[in-house]
Structure 1
Amino acid sequence: MKRAIASFLKQFFDREDGIITVEAVLVLPMMFWSIFASYTYYDSYRQSARNIKAAYTVADIISRERNMINATYINTMHSLLETMVSTRAPVSMRISFLLYEEPTDSHTVLWSCVRGGVYNSLNDGDAKLMKPLLPTMPDNGKMIVVETNNTYRAPFNIGFGFDDFSMGNFVFTHPRVFDNIVASTPC
């Protein structure tokens, strides 16, 4: 009896006709997870690139503006930003126009317009906190600052704490056409 059981077990362990099924059961979940994880990481980098390109586009358009900026203009910039970003989450934007005064080594906010729920209008106190992020400017130099923010929502839950996260951008540029861009209040 022992010999028959040992012979049966030896034959059972030597057989290879079910090995592909066992390997598939072990490998397929990991293969699908790696495909979903790769797509999720790719999608997050793609979204980040879209965000920064859209922020630069808005800053560049405003830097070339010759006319007064009003609420309709800012709404249009926000719509453009939303279209370019094309995300599953709401997009927030703050556009500010700053003046640097060398004698006081400070930035003054000439105007600030906000769309979305993340930002408040920029004030001189906020500009003081923002100073390390801004480039060196000449006396009476003016700067357009565009800040954008949206939340990345992953298409798949891949685990490892990869939850929704906030993507923010901070873009600054100098006015190209006119050194004074005027905004109507409130914008």
Structure 2
Amino acid sequence: MSIEAIMVFPLLFWSMWTSYTYFDGYRQSARNLKAAYAIADILSREKNEVNAQYITTMYDLQKFMIADRSAVSMRVSFVRWDQPDERHYVLWSCERGENYEELTDATVLDYKDRIPVMADNATMILVETTDHYTRPFKIGFGDNEFSIEKFIFTQPRGYHQIAEAPTGC
């Protein structure tokens, strides 16, 4: 019986650590997703002007909702679809953190397959978030550190103040 216990206990502990590690990773991914959806929803309902301080407040909200000490980044962009040109144009883009650069008319072409079909001159809010995650335990396979990235899109809900480019982004 003691020989069996010596053989089983390491496997039992490894199983518990692995289960906790996967649970923690999925929990962190869900937090990141909820934060991205919350920011997109808040922006889509905004009636007042969106400025640089507003975007910084959304970034602070993201950090608060993720509740992790890891580095987080966010980019909020406002794009328009032009049917005659068959392409998206970036009306404005603001980024916070170190992971993103400003989205431009040239770089938005890479997102054409990720943005849903839009009517001519329709607009879309894009929220991209990144959370650098480190596993609590090394479980023996896979990278111990990786980025959790989310890409959320939503349309403005009838208010047009968001269309104006925020100053100071």
Give the TM-score range, shorter chain.
over 0.9
- The aligned counterpart of 1:93 is 74
The aligned runs of 1:1-187 (5 Å cut-off) are 20-181=1-162, 182-187=164-169
SS in 2 for 1:166: strand
CA-atom RMSD in angstroms? 1.2
The alpha-carbon deviation at position 23 of structure 1 amounts to 1.8
CA distance, structure 1, for counterparts of residue 121 and residue 40 of structure 2: 20
Number of aligned positions between the proteins: 168
CA contact (8 A) 1:142 1:179 kept: no
- The amino acid that maps onto 1:40 is T
User: Which aligned segments of 4 or more residues in structure 1 are displaced greater than 3 angstroms?
Assistant: none
SS in 2 for 1:176: coil
CA contact (8 A) 1:88 1:153 kept: no
- The amino acid that maps onto 2:167 is T
The alpha-carbon deviation at position 180 of structure 1 amounts to 4.7
CA distance, structure 2, for counterparts of residue 105 and residue 82 of structure 1: 36
Structure 2 residue ranges without an equivalent (≥5): none
CA contact (8 A) 1:64 1:175 kept: yes
CA distance, structure 1, for counterparts of residue 31 and residue 93 of structure 2: 23
Under a length normalisation based on structure 1, what TM-score does the superposition of the two structures give?
0.86
Seq. identity, %: 51
CA contact (8 A) 1:88 1:152 kept: no
- The amino acid that maps onto 1:84 is M
Higher helix share: 1
CA distance, structure 2, for counterparts of residue 30 and residue 164 of structure 1: 23
The alpha-carbon deviation at position 90 of structure 1 amounts to 0.9
CA contact (8 A) 2:81 2:123 kept: yes
- The amino acid that maps onto 2:100 is Y
